[in-house]
């Protein structure tokens, strides 16, 4: 896209520059970053062109500093009736009539939504329905007999109503209405089933799988999955016993506490990410998706652990999936450090004003003249790890071990990103990214930044701030987690697998007995050995948190970590029920079930790694 400032605006003089579809503008205060954005919403002062087409003013969404999502509110019974009545009479009936008129005039249906829009603008001027509703209306008319087409009572009673109404604002929500409408559809269908099966009435209803096929999955499940993907500790909860005759009140819940909270009570950083989650839900039901989004320092309140998610959603969903152009401004070194270098531009007091720059240069600009003490947050360490999965593993283990660690110094784990994928499309970590981003941050004064990488049989601790977990001991974090001892204990806890092959019961297990632990370890080791080349029988001594030693052959501890789980599942397929098709699930089960119940059995290398970072 091309940015062109046509006339002088405040401190900016006319200039133009070619920009990528995702742009991060940074620079010191007073150089005009905000003015660059505001010029685009001030009439014809500046314009963005894409393939010689100008993005119009109404196609631009400008957000200054904060995204402020609205709270979820109850719906009174009469209010819901009014909403349904408005949708029926002001949206569906006009669109239905228009399609019938088109069919009568041309003898066929509009071939595309764009043709329907043009016909609507020329003949009726109604607000057009969404593309998904247009398709439903067209299919409905096709599948009913001609004599029923002009029967509006038939239409009212038989057209499948959309529980997701049109929305006008990308970053807000109307989930009370959406959830209530969906639960009302369930209620009506179950009532029809009752009348048919118990009262013998000749009335149609849908079986559960048919209902899902027609109406989609419950909307609260969809938005909760989006919120979970954004790694936020919240979820929506709907009433279990739905009653259409009382006030409808869904809740927004903090999962870790179970407390109901208001969205307006979230931290500024959480509001940013929850607003992006709402936008992902709304994208298919928006009257008009903006062509260009301008975000003016909306990352200012984000913790570094949230910044990566913020950038990923903007670039990979808004830009790549939805085709929206995005320009953001930032003062945050964390945002710049976590960004892709090709997206970074600096705004400066020069004739050109916007210039492509390297990540190192941008960080130098942001930290120039700042005493190192002011960016060295001694009590809050940022720890970069190799993948989003590693964030989950280290964070969960850190929480379990926290009573043994310095409570005044917190560790926040951040993914350095996914560099490539394996043959199944799963992200493969790359320690070089951890090294690069950690060294970049530390080189520009942030000495509270560290990196944890796997040993991989060859990595060494030669760079400042880089710690190799299980150095000279185990290949990767997967080897630490999937040790035969922990697989055996997980089977005894969950009874998923051949738990009756040993005489131990987990509840009565003596975790301080070396013989007991070694028996369980050797039981699983023997079962899985057929999957490995076992020539290297040298033993690795693995010290546990209680001081006991487990000795595991190097054909396991030095084996490539990502292959271990597949080999174990070949022999113990019952564990697939715990894996659930997810890369991280089985390892998190070990952390949450074995490590949580027996923190004394956690390999000591984890505690030592955390303590080294805290003490640095």
Query: Which contacts of 416-425 are long-range, i.e. CB under 8 A and separated by 24 or more positions?
Result: 416/384, 416/385, 416/386, 416/387, 416/451, 417/308, 417/338, 418/387, 418/388, 422/562
Percent of the chain past pLDDT 90, that is, above it, reads: 40
SS (H, E, C) 46-64: EEEEECCEECCHHHEEEEE
Least confident of 22-36, 103-117, 120-134, 445-459: 120-134
Q: Which residue has the higher pLDDT, 25 or 504?
A: 25
DSSP string, 365-427: HHHTT--GGGG--TTEEEEEESSHHHHHHHHHHHHHHGGGS-TTSEEEEEE----EE-TTS-E
Arithmetic mean of pLDDT, 180-185:
86
The alpha carbons of the chain give a radius of gyration, in whole angstroms, of: 29
Region 159-184: mean pLDDT is 75
Q: Where are the domains of the chain?
A: 2-70+265-369, 173-261, 376-469, 477-594
- Higher per-residue confidence, 147 vs 452: 452
Q: How far is CA 505 from the centre of its chain?
A: 39
What is the rounded average pLDDT of the residues 99-121? Answer: 86
Return the structure tokens found at 81: 């009736």
Q: What is the pLDDT of residue 419?
A: 45
- Please list the helix, strand and coil fractions of the chain in percent, rounded to the nearest 5, in that order: 50, 15, 35
Residue range 392-403, pLDDT digits in tens: 999 999 999 998
Q: At a CB cut-off of 8 Å and minimum separation 6, what does 213 contact?
A: none
Give residue 375's pLDDT band: very low, low, confident or very high (50, 70, 90): very low
Confidence at residue 376, expressed as pLDDT on a 0 to 100 scale: 42
Contacts of 175 (CB under 8 A, 6+ apart): 72, 219, 220, 223, 236, 250
pTM of structure: 0.59
- pLDDT tens digits, residue range 476-506? 999 999 999 999 999 999 999 899 898 888 8
Residue 378 confidence (pLDDT) above 70? no
* Distances 67 to 269, 277, 295, 353 between C-alpha atoms, Å: 9, 12, 9, 27
Contacts of 128 (CB under 8 A, 6+ apart): 95, 116, 117, 120, 134
pLDDT of residue 516: 93
What is the reported pLDDT for 360? 84
In the chain, the percentage of residues whose pLDDT exceeds 70 is 91
pLDDT in tens, 299-349: 988 877 788 889 988 998 899 988 899 999 998 888 998 898 999 999 998
Structure confidence by residue, pLDDT tens digits, 507-561: 788 888 999 999 999 999 999 999 999 878 899 999 999 999 999 999 999 999 9
pLDDT confidence of residue 171? 81
Q: Specify the pLDDT at position 372.
A: 43
Question: Tens digits of per-residue pLDDT, 189-244?
Answer: 899 999 998 888 888 888 988 888 878 889 899 899 888 877 788 999 998 888 88
Asked if residue 284 has pLDDT above 90, the reply is: no
Q: Where residue 90 falls among pLDDT bands split at 50, 70, 90?
A: low
pLDDT of residue 244: 81
Query: Considering only CA atoms, which of 509, 511, 489, 512 is closest in space to residue 499?
Result: 489
- Top-confidence residue, 375 or 379: 379
Q: Which superfamily does CATH assign the domain made up of 2-70+265-369 to?
A: P-loop containing nucleotide triphosphate hydrolases (3.40.50.300)
For residue 314, give Cα distances in angstroms to 310, 343, 359: 6, 12, 19
Which of residues 91 and 313 earns the better pLDDT score? Answer: 313
Kindly report, residue by residue over 410-460, the tens digit of the pLDDT: 899 998 865 444 445 554 457 888 999 999 888 888 888 999 999 999 999
Tokens 């951890």 locate to: 434
Amino acid 577: pLDDT = 92
Predicted confidence at residue 279, as pLDDT, reads 86
Q: What gap in Å lies between CA 478 and CA 584, rounded to an integer?
A: 10
Q: Are 343 and 25 in contact (CB under 8 A)?
A: no
At residue 287, the pLDDT reads: 63
Q: To which H or E segment does residue 479 belong?
A: helix 477-481
Q: Mind giving me the DSSP string for 156-212?
A: HHHS---SS--BS-TT---HHHHHHHHHHHHHHHHHHHHHHHTT--------HHHHH
Instruction: Report whether 420 contacts 398 (CB < 8 A).
Output: no
The stretch 166-181 carries a mean pLDDT of 78
């Amino acid at each position: 896209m091309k940015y062109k400032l046509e006339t002088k605006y405040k401190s900016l003089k006319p200039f133009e520059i070619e920009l990528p579809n995702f742009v991060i503008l940074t620079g010191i205060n007073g150089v005009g970053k905000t003015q660059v954005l505001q010029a685009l919403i001030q009439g014809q002062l500046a314009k963005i062109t894409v393939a010689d087409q100008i993005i119009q003013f109404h196609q631009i969404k400008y957000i200054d500093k904060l995204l402020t999502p609205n709270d979820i509110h109850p719906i009174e019974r009469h209010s819901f009736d009014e909403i349904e009545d408005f949708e029926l009479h002001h949206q569906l009936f006009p669109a239905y009539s228009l399609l019938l008129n088109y069919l009568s005039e041309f003898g066929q249906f509009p071939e595309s939504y764009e043709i329907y829009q043009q016909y609507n603008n020329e003949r009726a001027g109604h607000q057009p329905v969404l593309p998904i509703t247009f398709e439903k209306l067209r299919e409905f008319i096709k599948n009913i007999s001609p004599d029923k087409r002009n029967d509006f009572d038939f239409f009212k009673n038989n057209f499948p109503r959309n529980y997701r109404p049109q929305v006008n604002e990308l970053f807000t929500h109307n989930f009370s209405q959406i959830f209530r409408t969906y639960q009302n559809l369930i209620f009506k269908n179950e009532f029809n089933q009752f009348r048919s099966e118990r009262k013998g009435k000749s009335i149609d209803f849908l079986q559960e799988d048919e209902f899902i096929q027609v109406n989609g999955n419950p909307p609260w499940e969809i938005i909760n999955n989006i919120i979970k993907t954004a790694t936020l500790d919240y979820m929506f909860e709907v009433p279990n016993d739905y009653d259409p005759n009382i006030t409808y009140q869904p809740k927004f819940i903090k999962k870790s506490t179970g407390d109901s909270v208001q969205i307006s009570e979230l931290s500024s950083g959480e509001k940013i990410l929850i607003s992006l989650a709402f936008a992902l839900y709304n994208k298919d039901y928006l009257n008009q998706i903006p062509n260009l989004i301008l975000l003016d320092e909306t990352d200012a309140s984000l913790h570094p652990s949230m910044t990566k998610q913020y950038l990923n959603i903007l670039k990979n969903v808004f830009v790549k999936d939805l085709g929206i152009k995005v320009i953001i401004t930032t003062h945050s070194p964390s945002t710049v450090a976590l960004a892709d270098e090709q997206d970074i531009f600096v705004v400066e007091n020069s004739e050109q004003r916007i210039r492509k720059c390297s990540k190192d240069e941008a960080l130098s600009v942001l930290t120039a003249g700042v005493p190192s003490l002011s960016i060295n947050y001694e009590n809050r360490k940022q720890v970069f790890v190799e993948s989003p999965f590693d964030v989950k593993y280290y964070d969960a283990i850190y929480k379990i071990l926290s009573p043994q660690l310095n409570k005044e110094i917190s560790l926040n784990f951040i993914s350095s990103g996914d560099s490539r994928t394996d043959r199944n499309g799963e992200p493969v970590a790359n320690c070089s990214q951890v090294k690069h981003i950690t060294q970049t941050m530390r080189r520009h004064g942030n000495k509270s930044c560290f990196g944890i990488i796997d040993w991989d049989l060859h990595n060494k601790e030669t760079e400042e701030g880089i710690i190799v977990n299980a150095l000279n001991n185990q290949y990767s974090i997967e080897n630490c987690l999937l040790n035969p001892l922990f697989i055996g204990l997980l089977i005894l806890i969950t009874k998923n697998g051949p738990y009756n092959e040993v005489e131990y019961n987990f509840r009565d297990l003596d975790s301080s007995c070396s013989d007991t632990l070694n028996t369980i370890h050797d039981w699983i080791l023997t079962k899985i050995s057929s999957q490995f080349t076992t020539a290297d029988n040298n033993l690795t001594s693995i010290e546990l948190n209680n001081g006991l030693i487990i000795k595991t052959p190097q054909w396991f501890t030095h084996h490539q970590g990502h292959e271990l789980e597949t080999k174990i599942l070949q022999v113990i397929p019952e564990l697939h029920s715990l894996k659930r098709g997810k890369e991280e699930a089985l390892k998190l089960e070990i952390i949450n079930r074995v490590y949580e119940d027996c923190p004394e059995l956690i390999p000591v290398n984890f505690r030592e790694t955390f303590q080294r970072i805290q003490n640095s």
